[in-house]
Every structure is written in structure tokens, then in C-alpha cells.
Amino acid sequence: MAEDLHIVQGDKATMYTALIPQIKGLLEGEPDLVANLANTAAALKEQFGWFWVGFYLVKHDELVLGPFQGPVACTRIRKGRGVCGTSWAEARTLIVPDVEKFPGHIACSSLSRSEIVVPLIHNNTVVGVLDVDSAELDSFDTTDQQFLEAIVALIPWS
Ligand code: SME
């Protein structure tokens, strides 16, 4: 497909609904994981303008920073630590309306105020997480959860 993203205005569901076929187009026929994670992070950042969008991948029992869009970030997170490590340990999406109220939150940037972390699950195992940070409080809800879970399920894992 053409590499220009078509940005849509409207409510969240409208924006996600327009974005998903474009992400499918970016992933289609491309088996390389880094390329696919990089374009998925870029597409989400471009459509929504969030502060930070990126992936951490499970490597040797740690989460290691993968492709992302936004300011530099922490490189390694242990299982059960922070929002990302908790999402990994519990194999579920976590929505954090106010990061200061999440015990053990890892502040890669003091500008991050709310966060959603979605696990990437392959063969019933968490292989990484998608982490999205917002500079505003309470940016994420179950609509984000539903669509972001659908988006990470599109990423081929081999
Ligand atoms: N806040 C995350 C760490 C990753 S950065 O936000 C990019 C956490 O608590 O796991």
C-alpha cells in the first residue's frame, strides 16, 4: 500500500475503525517483526498523537525495549515491575488513569500521566507488550482496550 497514512478526525471508535484497515495494509505480506512493530507504533502515534507508543519484547525473562515512537525510554523491565511488567505477569491489559496512583509505576518520563498496556500473546504465552502513554490524565478506556487488543492480534508472529 501507499505509505501515507490517512488521518481521520472524530471519536475514538471512528479513528480506530479508519486506522485498522490501514495497519492491515502495512502488515500485509511483511513477515519481519521489527518492521511490523515499527509501522504499527508509527501509525498509532500519527493518528492519535499520544506522548509515547511502543513495544517491549520478552527476552531472557525481561522486557526489552523494541520499536517505539516518542522520547527515549527505559530499556529493560522485569516481570511484575511497573505497568508493563504487571501486564506481562498477569497476561492482561491494564488501563492506568493516573500513573501516580499505580504502585510501582516506572516513570520513564515525568510527562506521562496515564497509560494503557496490552500484552502480545502468541501460543498462550506473553511475548511482549504494547505500551501507550499519554500526557493527559485518564486518556484510555475500554474502547482503547478493545481496539488495541484487535490491532496487536494482527501482528504476525513467527
Ligand atoms: N511506565 C511503564 C514503563 C515504560 S515507559 O512508560 C515507556 C511502566 O510502568 O511499566
Pick from 100, 126, 131 the residue to mutate for probing ligand 1's pocket: most ligand atoms within 8 Å of its CB. Answer: 131
Q: How far apart are CA 56 and CA 74, in angstroms?
A: 10
Give residue 16's identity as a one-letter amino acid code: Y
Closest residue CA from atom 7 of ligand 1: 73
Q: How far apart are CA 44 and CA 50, in angstroms?
A: 8
Atom of ligand 1 nearest to the CA of 77: 10
- What the block records as the C-alpha cell of 142 is 475500554
Q: Summarize pLDDT for 69-87 with one digit per residue, the tens.
A: 999 999 999 999 999 999 9
- Predicted structure pTM score: 0.96
Domain range annotation of the chain: 12-154
Domain 12-154, what fold? Beta-Lactamase (3.30.450)
Percent of the chain with pLDDT over 70: 98
Q: Is the CB of 129 under 6 A from ligand 1?
A: no
> Beta-carbon neighbour count of residue 89 at 10 Å?
14
Q: Summarize pLDDT for 90-140 with one digit per residue, the tens.
A: 999 999 999 999 999 999 899 999 999 999 999 999 999 999 999 999 999
In whole angstroms, how far apart are CA 98 and each of 3, 114, 115, 133? 35, 5, 8, 11
Q: Tell me what pLDDT residue 3 has.
A: 74
Buried b (16+ CB within 10 A) or exposed e, 41-63: bbbbbebbebbbbbbbbbeeebb
Q: How far apart are CA 102 and CA 78, in angstroms?
A: 16
